Structure 1
Amino acid sequence: MKTAHEIRPGNVIMLNGSPWVVQKTETTRSGRNAAIVKLKLKNVLIDSSTESTFKGEDKLEDIILERLECTYSYFADPMFVFMDSEYNQYDVEADNLGDAAAYIVDGMEDVCHVTFYEGKAISVELPITIAREVTYTEPSARGDTSGKVMKPATVSGGATLSVADFVKTGDMIEIDTRTNEFKKRV
């Protein structure tokens, strides 16, 4: 059992007797009240989606499923194809990847974990940190040195996130895939 704020995208949880893939998590913390966690879920068995809200300390049943280390091979609309070390290919629907799809690029050498439920590939967990090239960002604003200055940037794969002011187009940056946050320039 995991608490609601320990759940990450790619995890599979059991709700009302059905397995659900977590596609997106959003935690809201307020001063007086407990943390609230919003989960965007997709049912593994019947392809339906829902959003659920939980208190941060609510216990959720995390299902332990078969996982294989795989690498990204290619995209065959609407499926992402991953390959294991024995050259077996597994198709994962783009909807099941959630936000992770924006970090998957051709020629990606990062090892991912493909999760299976009853022999079917249902989700992919990316490594905790990945390096991507910044394909576009605005130039730095001169004279703005007050604290931690951030600006939006687009990285290879199409994801948009906030980066430090000193990052330029063409730089390689390290990203935390759990929180979609900039960590450092590589």
Structure 2
Amino acid sequence: MKIAQEFRAGQVMNLNGQPWVVLKAEFNKSGRNAAVMKFKLKNILSGATQEPVFKADDKLEPVVLERREVTYSYFADPLYVFMDAEYNQVDVEKENLGDTLNFITDGMEDVCEAVFYDGKAISVELPTTIVRKVGYTEPAARGDTSGKVMKMATLENGYELQVAAFIEIGELIEIDTRTGEFKNRAKG
């Protein structure tokens, strides 16, 4: 058991027999009252969110999730299939992937991390930075060089994002998977 004050964002706790991931943890201490922890939690299994408040010294049960490195293999509606290092197949349901779907493409070689709860794959985390090819973008407007000029671009898989004005069709770009934003032109 851990006290509420020890939980940080990204950790998982067991509440009423359900696993909840901590999205936000905030410590509050007012003059007269006891110290409290305000949490923003998301249920790993159902996706529901809640914002409970606990006393800072309340005891809560942590949940340790298993993680394994995997690579994307193929899509078998409604499951995305990944393979681990021992060639074991890991099936992840489409709705559990969330924003990760924007960056999954056939033939991708990025090493991802599958997260397991109770022996079942519940999500997949991509590397922080990935490289993808621009499928389409408008030509840059001539003479517009003031500040940070951005334009829309579409990746080969159909995902749209803002890129720098100098990016052209067919170029490889780096994308931050946490925010879905363009970082810079890929090197090499």
TM over 0.5: yes
Distance in 1, Cα, partners of 2:168 & 2:50: 38
1:95 aligns with 95
Distance in 1, Cα, partners of 2:149 & 2:8: 33
1:162 aligns with 162
1:62-103 deviation digits (Å, cap 9, x = unpaired): 743111111101001111100011110010011111001110
2:153 aligns with 153
Amino acid in structure 2 at the alignment position of 1:93: E
Q: Contact conserved, 2:44 with 2:122, CA < 8 A, in 1? A: no
2:126 paired with 1:126: yes
2:77 aligns with 77
The normalised TM-score by structure 1 is: 0.74
Structure 2 matches for 1:59-78, cutoff 5 A? 63-78=63-78
Give structure 1 stretches of 5+ with no counterpart. Answer: 26-36, 55-59
Q: Secondary structure, in 3 states, of the residue corresponding to 2:168?
A: coil
Distance in 1, Cα, partners of 2:62 & 2:181: 25
Q: Secondary structure, in 3 states, of the residue corresponding to 1:139?
A: coil
2:147 paired with 1:174: no
Distance in 1, Cα, partners of 2:7 & 2:164: 33
Amino acid in structure 1 at the alignment position of 2:47: S
1:114 aligns with 114
If asked which structure has higher relative contact order (CA below 8 Å, sep 6+), I would say: 1
Amino acid in structure 1 at the alignment position of 2:144: D
Q: Secondary structure, in 3 states, of the residue corresponding to 1:49?
A: coil
1:49 aligns with 47
Amino acid in structure 1 at the alignment position of 2:185: R
Q: Contact conserved, 1:129 with 1:176, CA < 8 A, in 2? A: yes
Amino acid in structure 1 at the alignment position of 2:99: D
Amino acid in structure 1 at the alignment position of 2:12: I
2:138 paired with 1:138: yes
TM-superposed CA distance for 1:157, in Å, is 2.7
Distance 1:160 1:21, change over 3 A: farther
Distance in 2, Cα, partners of 1:182 & 1:2: 32
Tell me how large the CA RMSD over aligned residues is: 2.9
Q: Contact conserved, 1:66 with 1:117, CA < 8 A, in 2? A: yes
Q: Which of the pair has more CA radius of gyration?
A: 2
